[in-house]
Structure 1
């Protein structure tokens, strides 16, 4: 893997291509329309179809190929350092409900894997949050106590399977790692077997709430549904103003085979060094190797040198696992809620038949599984004990987390105004394979020069809310730093919340 190698499809996508589902071409009427074919959407659709509801999944691209297809796929209720914070902001009961909801979702999924006989590399492992800095040990001890009080089998340890010493770690045993795409493709088959519909290449453009609700799509077909679930990772509808409470975060992944004897034997994460996460997966037929997955270098989309970040992450992986052969590099993205807890439930205060699942803060595997159970219960007219914890309409916790909220809004304002003031490079200075936002006749254009030297010019204004995009050279994509929308070099949307492409321009 060289410096100039571009980030590509994840190992999960390459190892499990899967089939395709036809775009929606005719009007359809169902009980529930689920917008988004990632883990939250497919888990919800599967539970609802099993409960006898007619369901249609509408995915703008391919199912299980967006954020879920690029995850590190750790399925655990230990979410870095969440429990001590929850104990302070939501009380002991809030922390307990968080732990219970995540754990119940994991065990429910274990039952689904067994019931369907899914060969998705489901492996039980301990999860660890670790530090190497002695000054951070007390924080870890507090997290271990809080997680234990919340009901998790958590303990503070100083010995791990990592190839370097740690100052301390929180360990929770009997957690899970798996192949997310193999699991979700099996869920898709089960949805179809129970009368559900799945349509790829179908972008939902409009939502008319009512009894029933109506959705307009990019194909021209209309969907009528009693209930609608917005599971698009970042909500594509702004009526709930959830964009003010979500901060997009992108992380990089480098991966490749190592000798099985060097497997650290668990799932590890630290907030040090701008985040480092380590796990392995099965690899090959003879059991002599494992597939090492190292994640880190988190950043706001559309900011900084992503190639340099990949180089730092690769150097860290080689430094600690010298026998690794790095064969893959990709990136993933998630949204951090300003008050720590995901937003799962009614879309807005006046919503009666519209629901949302978002803000998983880097823990979308257990969070998406939990969302499937919670939203299914609510659509069926029931409630879970932990419904209130995740309710997007909550206000008290938002007030408590006002500093995070204000910091996020300040960053958005900084990009919205400041990015329009930054210097513009000359178009003729762009080398092949590079892009930049340039000033042309007083306006800003996003200009990319392809390997043949041809220039491709687009409006630099994100079609979501008008922030200026910036170029990610490692992934050859235009990214919005305000809310995380991403576009390819032709302007096509590759990640929302934007639903419309960047407008083409002449140059």
Structure 2
């Protein structure tokens, strides 16, 4: 087993290069709908609106499909671990049925688009499994199988799988899919352009003025005027409804290694045990497939030893699948809603022309495609039977899920208070090793200090520019991370991931 992966780049990004960047806006632009974010949710919404005859501009802070969607494990399924039994208990059987219908409709919609546009994205039909190995938890998956079947999925409880280890029980749902998400989305972006849609990369939106029309302002001062705005930035960069109180960020690691085709599982698997283990395989040349294993979730900025977590995940994969040479490793980030259901619809209760898609909880592919269809209907005056299920303004589910809500808020409140108290002690700049970083007290404030491989020190403010929580250093990925809402920054303070829209301020120490 080789733990040192050849690259820390996502396999999807490496095998589907983006080509020439889409231009930043040369000046002010007017369109029917402006979409902020070019991941699966944003591009799906742009596609649905373009095909309905709306003029659309997509504004992406980085590159198309290079953010969260470019770091997924790319499972397109309506079986989301143990969601159906929970929904049945907290929101009722009708809600569970609508959830199943909407997620299944998203898979069908993606298959239609692949067929219609002739997209070569390694589309494969596969069964999805949620399994447990602990016999004491078998009743959980048995209940999930019953709830998923009642919700309308072709779900069954099984005790045998193709995995190289025994399971105590599993839910199996056939007719699901897996694919290359970046190839799919780059083709979709090309078709949006062909139909007259505008694509802008390296275009960070920093301000939104709601009205009739709405106006977006970009980092370089360009103004985009639109009748409607979709905020599909994974974590909302504009949070007029305080959705951050109902979202908690979660980061997960991914390791990948080639495996002989005859030893490769063809289904898609996940277990809530062992701090989550998720796996599937993808085409990888003659006689091989790429084994993709995900897990070891943690709160970004919590100070975990991420390198140790990578080692743990790789060791687990090698222990179960034999001697492996890891070619890729990367990490992804998800936002969990307090009731396990995404937030898709009006940005806030008083909103008439602004919309949001967030809180996909690790199931952003089916969720993002679903969100695109739902937002297309809402913006063009159509109907969708599951609009109330996903409405961000829903209240009853938050009350039912009060424990999760209060737990998350207590964690964030702890940072808001604790991060503002004077430090009793802490590391010194001289104690920071090359390639590492730490928050130190210097010049009367906390500074985030990074020492590069050549020994040069780089310092920025340690306060996240979103709401002021203190960042922490992720040594494995060399990034500053905020534990409150998941903003991430490069060692020099530049934004890697929102909701922050301003970099960390430079400091001279």
Specify the TM-score bucket, using the shorter chain as the normaliser: over 0.9
Cross-structure match for 2:500: 498
Provide the residue aligned with 1:185 in structure 2: 186
Which position in structure 2 is the counterpart of 1:278?
279
SS in 1 for 2:96: helix
In 1: Cα distance, 2:18 partner to 2:236 partner: 26
- In the TM superposition, 1:331-342 aligns within 5 A as 331-342=331-342
CA distance in 2, matches of 1:115, 1:386: 25
1:422 Cα offset (Å): 6.9
CA contact (8 A) 1:7 1:475 kept: no
Distance 1:331 1:488 in 2: 15
Q: How far off is 1:398 after superposition?
A: 1.0
**Residue aligned with 2:233, SS:** strand
Contact 2:6 2:326 in 1 (8 A): no
Note if 1:249 corresponds to 2:250: yes
The C-alpha deviation readout for 1:333-369, integer Å capped at 9, x for no partner, is 0100011110000000000000000000000000000
- Rounded Cα–Cα distance in structure 2 between residues aligned with 1:187 and 1:74: 18
Query: What is the 5 A alignment of 1:70-469?
Result: 70-284=71-285, 286=286, 288-303=287-302, 304-419=304-419, 421=423, 423-469=425-471
Give per-residue Cα distances to partners, 1:192-238, cap 9 Å, x unaligned: 01100000000001000000000100121100000000000000012
Displacement of 1:265 in angstroms is 1.6
Task: Specify the SS of the correspondent of 2:274.
Answer: helix
Partners of 1:75 and 1:159 lie apart in 2 by: 22
C-alpha separation in 2, matches of 1:172 and 1:435 = 45
1:3–1:307 Cα contact (<8 Å) kept: no
> Could you tell me which residue of structure 2 aligns to residue 11 of structure 1?
11
Q: Cα offset for 1:414?
A: 1.8
Determine the C-alpha separation between the residues in 2 that align with 1:105 and 1:66: 21
Q: TM-score, normalised by structure 2?
A: 0.98
Asked if 1 retains the 8 angstrom alpha-carbon contact of 2:7 and 2:327, the reply is no
Contact 1:449–1:456 (CA under 8 A) maintained in structure 2: yes
> Secondary structure of 1:274's partner?
coil
For the 8 Å contact 2:145–2:156, the answer to whether it is kept is yes
* Distance in 2 between residues matched to 1:492 and 1:446, nearest whole Å: 13
CA distance in 2, matches of 1:5, 1:114: 35
**3-state SS of paired residue (2:221):** coil
Contact 1:340/1:361, CA 8 A, preserved across alignment: yes
Indicate how the Cα distance of structure 1 residues 422 and 203 shifts in structure 2: closer, same or farther if over 3 A, else same.
Answer: farther
Q: CA 1:70–1:116 in structure 2 vs 1: closer, same or farther (change >3 Å)?
A: same
The CA deviation string for residues 444-470 of structure 1, in whole angstroms up to 9 with x for no partner, is 000000011110000000000000000
What residue ranges of structure 2 are gaps of 5+ in the alignment?
none
Contact 2:4 2:326 in 1 (8 A): no
Aligned residue pairs: how many?
505
Whole-Å separation in 2 of the counterparts to 1:6 and 1:461:
34
SS at 2:191's partner residue?
helix
Partner SS state of residue 361, structure 2? coil
TM-score normalised by length of structure 1: 0.98
Residues 162 and 264 in structure 1, CA contact (< 8 A), matched pair in contact too: yes
Q: Which whole-Å CA distance do the structure 1 matches of 2:363 and 2:231 have between them?
A: 18
Name the SS of the counterpart of 2:256 in structure 1.
strand
Which position in structure 2 is the counterpart of 1:477?
479
Q: Secondary structure at the match of 1:428?
A: helix
Equivalent-residue separation in structure 1 for 2:430 and 2:101 (angstroms): 58
- In structure 2, do the counterparts of structure 1 residues 455 and 2 end up closer, same or farther at CA, with 3 Å as the change threshold? farther
Q: Determine helix, strand or coil for the equivalent of 1:505.
A: coil
Tell me if structure 2 keeps the 8 A contact 1:29–1:223. Answer: yes
Asked whether the 8 Å contact 1:6–1:474 carries over to 2, the reply is no
Q: Is the 8 A contact 2:3 2:314 kept in 1?
A: no
2:6/2:328 contact within 8 Å kept: no
Give the superposition deviation at 1:240.
Answer: 1.1
Q: Deviations over 1:453-500 (max 9, x none)?
A: 110000000000000000000000000000000000110001000010
Alignment partners' CA distance in 2, 1:143 and 1:5: 36
Deviation for aligned residue 1:324 = 2.4
Q: C-alpha distance in 2, partners of 1:111/1:5?
A: 36
Q: Secondary structure at the match of 2:232?
A: strand
Conserved? CA contact 2:5–2:328, under 8 Å: no
Going from structure 1 to structure 2, the CA distance change for 1:407 and 1:7 (only over 3 Å counts) comes to farther
Once the two structures are TM-superposed, the CA of residue 323 in structure 1 deviates from its matched residue by: 3.3
The answer to whether the 8 A contact 2:279-2:291 is kept is yes
User: Against the structure 1 CA distance between its residues 338 and 115, is the aligned structure 2 distance closer, same or farther, given a 3 Å change threshold?
Assistant: same
- Please list the CA deviations of residues 254-283 of structure 1 after superposition, one character each: whole Å capped at 9, or x if unmatched: 001010011112000001000000100000
SS in 2 for 1:108: helix
Alpha-carbon distance in structure 2 between the residues aligned to 1:262 and 1:154: 25
Query: Are the equivalent residues in 1 in contact too, given 2:338–2:401 (CA < 8 A)?
Result: yes
Partner Cα separation in structure 2 for residue 289 and residue 422 of structure 1: 55
- Structure 1, gaps ≥5 residues long: none
